[in-house]
Structure formats: C-alpha cells, structure tokens
Amino acid sequence: MNLLEQGRFRLTVFDEMSELDGMSPHVVRQHFKEWRQHAEREEQGSRAKIMARGGNPDRTPFPDDMAVRYKFCVQIDAVALQSIVSSEGETRAGNAWVNLVEADWDPSAAAALRERTKREYLAMGLDAANYDDSVEVLPAIEGCTEESAGRMRVHYRDLILEFYACLRDLNALEDMYVRPPDVAEA
C-alpha cells in the first residue's frame, strides 16, 4: 500500500482560531476527544470491518486497539510555532517542536497508582514504616506537578515516522516520555 496514493493518507487539521487560539492542552484534549467519538467509525468503516480487525464496535472509543491517530493529537500553539518558523518565515531545523497531547491522560492517575501500589505493599504483610511514599514535586505545568503532564514536546521532524510508529506499542509512551520544557527526539 502506498500511503502517498490519492486518498490514502490524510491529516485532520483543526484551525478554528476563535475556538482554539491560545487554548491550553486541556481544552485541545477535550476538543480532540469530542472529534474522535465519531471519527474512528467514519474513517475505519463499518461494525463488521472493526470486528474483523479484532475491535469491539460497542466500546467508544476503543482504547486498546485504536490507532495512534485517535490516542494523541498535535497542538501547535504560538510558542511551538515560533520554534518552527522564524519571524521572517524561514523554517528552523534545530530545536523545532510541537506538542503531542495524550487524549486519555488523567491527572489523577499517578496519585491513584501510588495509592494502589501502597495498598498492595501493605497487603503483602510488609511493614508500613518501611514504605517510601515520598513524591518528588515538580514544577507545575498547567497545575500538574506529576511526572507526566499529559503532553510532551516532540521534535517536529520525528513526530510522524518515529513517534507515531513507536506509539503503536501500548507501553512505548512510558519509555519515550520527556517532561516539558524538554524536547523529545527519536
């Protein structure tokens, strides 16, 4: 299959300035999730086609088997755009980046995981006094002080080929994640 063939590869671009200009990744994430509620079925086909791929057409969305296209969106805010294009309109190659926003990121997930881990530790009969539940408090990104802020900066040249290909693996994000303001490169 030739991805460059007419109609094969198409990016969906949202450029509603009045709706998205200056919006936080949280707002972009919500907009993206609303779009994907119907987009996967429209783009991937009928219930029969989804079932043939091993998907569950009754689950919306299909997080385990959905394409990376429906798990992440790219946000190019004013700062990212300035990293890509100079004020003279020239493309910058060096540290140019875009925001890769994780659609299903939950800011409370890290705290819930820590609590579950502690309960499992105690359930094994281990001494609570020996349990280290200290948490490194990181600089806040949109109010989040956890390691994962639900988005990362990705060098724009690596986005489609390297990152999207690797992110097909459900566990890859954990290995690839770099907390902003650092920029992840493949």
Residue 75 is predicted with a pLDDT of 93
Tell me, what's the pLDDT at 50? 61
* pLDDT score of 29: 93
Element (DSSP H or E) covering residue 26? helix 25-44
Query: For 32-35, which contacts have Cβ atoms below 8 Å and span 24 or more sequence positions?
Result: 32/73, 32/101, 32/103, 33/103
Residue bearing tokens 């299959």? 1
pLDDT score recorded for residue 1 = 45
Question: What pLDDT, on the 0 to 100 scale, is given for residue 28?
Answer: 92
Distance CA 21, CA 139 (A): 25
Which tokens is 62 given? 């299909």
What pLDDT tens digit does each residue of the chain (186 aa) get? 444 555 555 678 887 767 778 888 989 999 999 998 888 777 766 656 666 666 555 554 445 567 788 899 999 998 999 999 987 877 787 889 999 999 999 888 878 888 888 889 889 988 888 888 887 888 989 888 888 899 999 998 888 778 888 888 878 888 899 999 999 987
User: Model-level pTM?
Assistant: 0.76
Give the C-alpha distances (Å, rounded to integers) separating 123 from 73, 88, 127, 135, 159. 39, 62, 10, 21, 42
